[in-house]
Homo-oligomer: A and B are copies of this chain.
Amino acid sequence: MSVIYQQVALIGLGLIASSMAHAMRRAGVAGEITGYARSPETRATAREIGLCDRVCESAAEAATGADLVVLCVPVGAMGEVAAEIGPVLEPGATVSDVGSVKRAVIEAVAPHLPEGVHFVPAHPLAGTEHSGPRAGFAELFDNRWCLIVPQPGSDRAAIARLEAFWQALGANTEEMEAEHHDLVLAVTSHAPHLIAYTMVGVADDLGRVTDSEVIKYSAAGFRDFTRIAASDPTMWRDVFLNNKEATLEILGRFTEELFALQRAIRTGDGDHLHAYFTRTRAIRRGIIEAGQDVDAPDFGRIRKG
């Protein structure tokens, strides 16, 4: 493939940014990769493993001369970073991000970008429970979706270029409006994460069942929750604080349905339970057919003989 951007600046060097760096190299789409992370340790690690062509000492330095700047910091830090890099951005450059929330990021970032800079928010729907610059790998985005959230008046050529970039990194792209993005993600990601964190917290906190028992006997279902609940705490704090309304709405719906199932258990309404548990299988089938999960039993943890 050929170069799509001459210089890509990654601000923040965690799982997503480091995976982007590997995927950019695999695809050969970036002339130079510059990077910056706030923590000196992270910058040192990034230098040690050769993650970027240049690891810089400030966000502004990394962004200087870049034709694509991607903000890969927690959602709550986006505004501050945008304010830092705003002054050095050149007309025609594109600024994007990988935040899990779009409306709040747009409100935080847009005011800091000068005229002539293209702002094209994005969100690659990919991740693992591991964090930091060593967690990245080139395949993270393969066959995953990257949602692109064009702004009113966005330059179509700039949007198309960013979509081509994400496709070169292995992703499928789709355009979506910010509010709808935030609701879709509240359902498919934010509420499930909060629920998983809660369930793990309850298990940890229950006096009559020890942590050692929870750990030993986790294979009966619980351990799948712990994977999600091992995700980066700062990232997730910011997601919930910045997608309050949609997350709380979905959690309200969730609680309502949970109460209905609890009542069915209490009253012994087996038909209600059976019908509910049957219905949810279809969604799983759809996900397998869409190539968004593996059908190997137990996620392929156990290899069949």
B-side contacts of A277, CB under 8 Å: 197, 229, 231, 233, 236-237
B-side contacts of A200, CB under 8 Å: 280, 283-284
Chain A's interface size range is 35 or more
B220 touches A274 (CB 8 A): no
- Is A183 on the interface with B (CB-CB < 8 A)? yes
**Cα of A305 to Cα of B22 in the assembled complex, Å:** 10
B268 touches A298 (CB 8 A): no
**Cα of A293 to Cα of B219 in the assembled complex, Å:** 8
B-side contacts of A194, CB under 8 Å: 258, 261, 265
B-side contacts of A198, CB under 8 Å: 254, 257-258, 261
B-side contacts of A3, CB under 8 Å: none
By beta carbon, the residue of chain B nearest A301 is B294
B-side contacts of A201, CB under 8 Å: 257, 276, 279-280
Report the stretch among A77-85, A104-112, A154-162, A244-252 that lies at the interface. Answer: A244-252
**Cα of A262 to Cα of B197 in the assembled complex, Å:** 12
**Cα of A26 to Cα of B305 in the assembled complex, Å:** 10
- Is A125 on the interface with B (CB-CB < 8 A)? yes
Report the stretch among A41-49, A56-64, A86-94, A210-218 that lies at the interface. Answer: A210-218
**Cα of A188 to Cα of B199 in the assembled complex, Å:** 9
B204 touches A283 (CB 8 A): yes
Other-chain contact of A187, B125, B214, B240 (Cβ < 8 Å): B214
- Is A1 on the interface with B (CB-CB < 8 A)? no
B229 touches A297 (CB 8 A): no
B195 touches A191 (CB 8 A): no
Besides the contacts A187-B206, A192-B224, what 12 more A-B pairs have beta carbons closer than 8 Å? A128-B297, A140-B302, A180-B208, A183-B209, A188-B214, A188-B217, A191-B199, A194-B265, A201-B257, A206-B253, A226-B284, A238-B270
15 inter-chain pairs at a CB distance below 8 angstroms, sorted by A residue, are A126-B219, A145-B219, A184-B214, A188-B203, A197-B261, A206-B250, A212-B286, A215-B287, A215-B292, A223-B293, A229-B277, A236-B273, A237-B270, A240-B265, A248-B262
